[in-house]
Amino acid sequence: MSIWIDIGKGRKYCVRISEPVNRLQDPWDDLAQAVILQAVKDYRKVLKALVRRPDSLALKKEKKQCEAFFRSVWFGVLSGTNPDFILEELRKEVAG
């Protein structure tokens, strides 16, 4: 299963979600999508904040935490998408 996430300015990217083993797991797909979408929003927010305050150690730490999630085993369970692709697309979006 795939979902398309709007990253702004008319650009979208596809995130592949692991297929459920049976139909009873369908609610878990919704949860996986929500987790990924929230991670995208969090990363976008911290990137935008770093543009305004590039020397903030707290923001740099938060950015690393977001990147660690995208590169985690947990993200791999939720999605088969290359995390570096997602991170790069979000960086491009924020850079304008």
Model's pTM, two decimal places?
0.74
pLDDT of residue 39: 94
pLDDT of residue 4: 61
Q: How far is CA 9 from CA 51, 58, 94, in A?
A: 18, 28, 10
pLDDT of residue 61: 97
Residue of 2, 7, 8 lying closest to 87 (CA atoms): 7
pLDDT tens profile 59-92: 999 999 999 999 999 998 888 889 999 999 999 9
pLDDT tens profile 22-61: 555 577 788 888 899 999 999 999 999 999 999 999 999 9
pLDDT of residue 80: 80
d(CA 51, CA 76): 29
